[in-house]
Homo-oligomer: A and B are copies of this chain.
Amino acid sequence: MKITILGAGGFLGRKLAARLAQAGELNGRAITGLTLFDLNVPPPPAAAFPIRRIPGDLANPATVAEAIPPGTDIVFHLAAVVSAAAEADFDLGLRVNLQGTLAVLEACRRLERAPRLVFTSSVASFGGGQGAVVPDDGRQLPANSYGAQKAMGELLLQDASRRGMIDAVSLRLPTVIVRPGRPNKAASSFVSAIVREPLLGLPTTCPVGPDFAIWVCSPRRAVDWFLHAATMDTAVLGLDRGINPPGLSVTVAELLSALEAAGGQEARSLVTFQPDPAIEAIVSGWPASFAATRAKALGFAQQDGAEAILDAFLADDLKATKAEREMA
């Protein structure tokens, strides 16, 4: 089984590569080759199968074709200009998120057999706000360029799947927490920061109130979904290749309780509320919950609670995050 990860240098791409390397197989079939593609390809994880590293730009069809060699069975398309960057630079977002996805389709069409294509779309392609529970057939009316480009990509891949060119599954991922690294300019940055920074012993501020709810998942669960999307029977999907996986609707207060459970009263006391109307204006448009009925019926695993999310961060990422901070 030959696999390609596009966007292999990112937060989730690295986690996915590590999981594949560790497992050595997928659904009982041995992995015989893995290609890691990104603008910057990280050192490959240790694995029993050969790993190719292809640095390149997703918007360059020739490099993308090189990253999806003959015989590829599964393509994980995670490469993207993410929300804040696509909002800041409209042309860059279109070039990578739209034209890049067209290049991925072109490369897949050249293969002898239509490959399974797992595409990471986003809850940012939906509106609705705090009160919303988005149904499985909810309409995508994005309030940001990133979400619009993701929804366009979904339409393209859905249609190409109908035509038999590819066999796509598009996962509208929740906000994935706890993201390692430093707080950044993404409007959702605080959702990870309010637990990560205190666990590193650092103070942080929360721009929204304790009742603010958000749809989240852990990176572990996201990778579980990737693997399920890569191996599931897609015949049952029919036309509809878009999946709202069963994340967790969690409030800031619940995250802070989990933080206290994991790091004690001391950690909890490092978070102070400091309302930021600009951030509140953006994030209050995001739907706080999804029905996710179809995804559950299709076998996508439910995200477990906030404490499990924090435990995963402690087990998987705290040490490396600490080391990085100390090096800088």
Contact = CB atoms under 8 A, between A and B. Distances in A.
A21 B206 CA distance: 59
A141 B137 CA distance: 9
A163 interface: yes
A139 B139 contact: yes
A142 B239 CA distance: 8
Given A90-B163, A163-B90, A239-B127, A155 B139 contact: no
The winner among A127, A137, A144, A145 for most chain B CB atoms within 10 A is A145
Contact of A94 (B102, B144, B149): B102
Contacts of A137: 139, 141
A148 B143 contact: no
Interface residues of A, number: 27
A151 interface: yes
A156 interface: yes
A192 interface: no
Nearest to A125: B155
B139 A148 contact: no
Interface in A85-118: 90, 94, 102
A158 interface: yes
A159 interface: yes
B127 A142 contact: no
Contact of A141 (B127, B145, B160, B239): B239
9 contacts: A127-B239, A137-B141, A140-B155, A141-B240, A144-B159, A148-B155, A148-B156, A152-B152, A155-B155
Interface of A: 90, 94, 102, 127, 137-145, 148-149, 151-152, 155-156, 158-160, 162-163, 165, 239-240
- The 10 A-B residue pairs whose C-beta atoms are closest, nearest first, are A148-B159, A139-B139, A152-B152, A148-B155, A152-B155, A137-B139, A145-B159, A151-B155, A141-B239, A143-B239
